[in-house]
Amino acid sequence: VAAAALTGPIEAAGAVSTLSEFALIERFFRRSSRSAVLGIGDDAALLAPTAGCEIAVSVDMLVAGRHFFPDVDPRALGHKALAVNLSDMAAMGAQPRWALLGAALPDVDSDWLAAFSAGLFALADEFGVELVGGDTTRGPLNVCVTIIGEAPSGRSLRRSGAVVGDRVWVSGPLGGAALALQALQGRIGLTAEQREACERCLLWPQPRVALGLRLRGIATSCIDISDGLVGDLGHILEASAVGAEIDLAAIPRLATLDRAAAADKPLVRDCILAGGDDYELCFTAPADSDGALAALAVELGLALAAIGTITASGRLVARVDGVPMPALPHGFDHFRG
Amino acid sequence: VAAAALTGPIEAAGAVSTLSEFALIERFFRRSSRSAVLGIGDDAALLAPTAGCEIAVSVDMLVAGRHFFPDVDPRALGHKALAVNLSDMAAMGAQPRWALLGAALPDVDSDWLAAFSAGLFALADEFGVELVGGDTTRGPLNVCVTIIGEAPSGRSLRRSGAVVGDRVWVSGPLGGAALALQALQGRIGLTAEQREACERCLLWPQPRVALGLRLRGIATSCIDISDGLVGDLGHILEASAVGAEIDLAAIPRLATLDRAAAADKPLVRDCILAGGDDYELCFTAPADSDGALAALAVELGLALAAIGTITASGRLVARVDGVPMPALPHGFDHFRG
């Protein structure tokens, strides 16, 4: 079972007791098991992997004040904690199946927990994912989700298969989440409409699981964009030992941002190129897949866009009106300072 | 990839940058993959489960100030963070295979990280476990390990199979970890020898993986003792819808504690019955397995001890010199308040 808590003086006053931890798990996180051999309630869950499949596993830890504002809508946090993991499954072309939740909570707030678990389970249900394990404890707010998915052996997407001449694609508008953060921090003025569109990207990212599954056999490499296009495409280039040229104008953006004031355009551009937290996919595919991908975009209702080409240069070049940008904003370092 | 960090004012000064996170993972946690199809370095690891096996998965979150002292030896913390998860695999009779690490760190301290990873990998190597995923971030110290193991389908140990007439067993001395904590908090005086023996239990628990594997086909139920014998045996009783009678004198304890001062004996007793964090196994087996278990104890060098019998009463009764104790200390609530 879960690790015992220290007791006595070093324990914060009013700590979650073992009993209330069990009660919490029962009340907010335990549901009858549908897909597991054995779900929550023993020392481990037991799962039966599908014959012929490999399992894909990933973990993400979200810390209050670093990955989300402490006063975030708990329903949105429950959604996002799982969404970022589902996005990793999407990037691998894996079918998400099961999740485990580690959570440190500063106090036991039933309303907060009810909303958090509602957000998490709504997304889990949408994607057929079952929560099969959990460990809740008292501590500074921290949510750590492990996701387990499956893909037929040898058919997963990786970062390492991009080939010179492949097109570079993204699965939808970039920069919205980063702009929402800039607005929340008072660094940019957005209209109510713009702000709402951007905050939807930041708080309610939609993992591109269906796309990832359909990209098996089409994409030569794939990654999800969580740290920004420049950084994450950079991972593909490094893993594949190639370069790329991309065209800024080809990168999809939220329609509402085309009306950004001129003064804000450099910031908008940097958010598109280097803003994190959008969770669209970036992938590469041979040019002869253009038709298949165009059809897939229509079928899935996604704004798939070819934004450039894989080159042999080993470097990433972004062009604006045909002219290479002299320097690229990288990851979220741009926003530090 | 991992979730993007918020940036700007709400981020703590000097936060771990994306780049340094990658560097950290490279330096301290990434090793060449031996057992995974694809290890650390993509959006997820890919693992090939053994045909005919179910996978067992569990997560444990350890929070500074709650599960360990913030100034704990980082090598011991690395050991324990994995040990508590290996113990869950032991309790399931599962062969541990892979682990994932989520870690929030208050700062980047190379010496601390080197020691933490050395402690974690020493234990991982001992048990043939590979670290296949990780997410490091800045935040209040928090370590969240997910473990994945395997067991032939249908052969795992559970909490729910205890039958009236079974013997109740524990795999070794209980109470040491709880007594170490009492000593560290100045509530009990221990000799240097006693203190060292108890601190070994608290800081360097030894997961009983080999025992768990051998208990397949022998034990009718199993759990690891992390919250204390009364509470954890209670989980077996509840899951199996039975009761038990145990004999306090039959419970193994550290030899050095037999010389505890008379005034300390009630505390020692409570630690044995309800102290957490020892990570011995509690299991049940038919009486006709006594010989097999005695032989197994010799083979594995463990102080396996039959401490009682499963009854139909639905209650747990502990006898001292044949007399039922009027009340049982429960979990670690005893130490509160």
pLDDT of residue A83: 98
pLDDT at B16: 43
CB-based burial, B27-60: b 16+ in 10 Å, e otherwise: ebbeeebeebbbbbbbbbbbbebeeebbbbbbbb
Q: Check if the beta carbon of residue A55 is closer than 8 Å to that of residue B55.
A: yes
Phi-psi region of A185 (alpha: psi -120 to 50; beta: other; left: phi over 0): alpha
pLDDT at B1: 63
Pairing of strands A130-138, A95-105: parallel
Question: Between chains, do B6 and A101 touch, taking CB under 8 Å as contact?
Answer: no
Q: Running DSSP on this structure, what letter comes out for residue B172?
A: S
Q: How far is B262 from chain A (nearest CA, A)?
A: 23
Q: What pLDDT was estimated at residue A154?
A: 94
DSSP A316: E
Which residue from A6, A88, A140 is facing B44, i.e. has the nearest CB?
A88
Per-residue confidence in pLDDT tens, chain A, 337 aa: 665 555 433 333 333 444 466 577 677 777 777 788 888 888 999 999 999 999 999 999 999 999 999 999 999 999 999 999 999 999 999 999 999 999 999 988 889 999 999 999 999 999 999 999 989 889 999 999 999 999 999 999 999 999 999 999 999 999 999 999 999 988 888 899 999 999 999 999 999 999 999 999 999 999 999 989 999 999 999 999 999 999 999 999 988 877 777 767 888 899 999 998 999 999 999 999 999 999 999 999 999 999 999 999 999 999 999 999 998 887 543 233 2
Determine the pLDDT at residue B7: 47
| Radius of gyration of the CA atoms of chain B, in A | 21
CA dist., res. A225 & res. A215, Å (int): 16
Indicate yes or no: CB of A187 within 8 angstroms of CB of B8: yes
Alpha helices for A93-191 (secondary structure H) = 110-126, 176-184
pLDDT attached to residue B3: 59
Distance CA A126, CA B25 (A): 32
Q: Give the gap in angstroms from C-alpha B192 to the nearest C-alpha of chain A.
A: 21
Q: Which residues of A touch B57 (CB under 8 A)?
A: 44-45, 47, 98, 100, 132-133, 146, 148
Give the length of chain B. Answer: 337
CB contact under 8 A, A332 and B4: yes
Q: What is the mean pLDDT of each run of 10 residues along chain B (337 residues)?
A: 50 42 71 81 92 96 92 96 98 97 90 95 96 91 97 96 98 94 89 93 96 98 95 96 96 84 81 92 98 98 98 95 89 38
B234 touches chain A (CB under 8 A): no
**According to the model, what pLDDT value does residue A309 have?**
98
Distance CA B57, CA A57 (A): 11
Whether the CB-CB separation of A68 and A80 falls below 8 Å is answered with yes
The interface residues of chain B toward chain A in range 266-305, judged by CB-CB distance below 8 A, are 276-277
What ipTM was assigned to the predicted interfaces of this complex?
Answer: 0.90
Taking CB atoms and an 8 Å cut-off, how many pairs form between chains A and B? 336
Token representation of residue A151: 């893909």
Cross-chain Cβ contact B92/A42 below 8 Å: yes
Let me know: does A250 contact A305? Beta carbons within 8 Å.
yes
What does the H/E/C string look like for B254-292? CHHHHHCCHHHHHHHHHHHHHCCCCCCEEEEECHHHHHH
Give CA A188 to chain center in angstroms.
24
> Given an 8 Å threshold on Cβ–Cβ distance, is A55 in contact with B57?
no
Question: Crossing angle for the helix pair A229-240 and A265-274, nearest 10 degrees?
Answer: 40
Among A residues 139-178, those touching chain B with beta carbons less than 8 Å apart? 139-140, 142, 144, 146-149, 151, 153, 156, 158-160, 177
Q: What pLDDT does A8 receive?
A: 37
pLDDT of residue B17: 46
**Ramachandran category for residue A301: left, alpha or beta (phi over 0 → left; psi -120 to 50 → alpha):** left
pTM: 0.91
Per-residue pLDDT at A336: 33
The pLDDT value given to residue B223? 97
* One-letter amino acid of A311: T
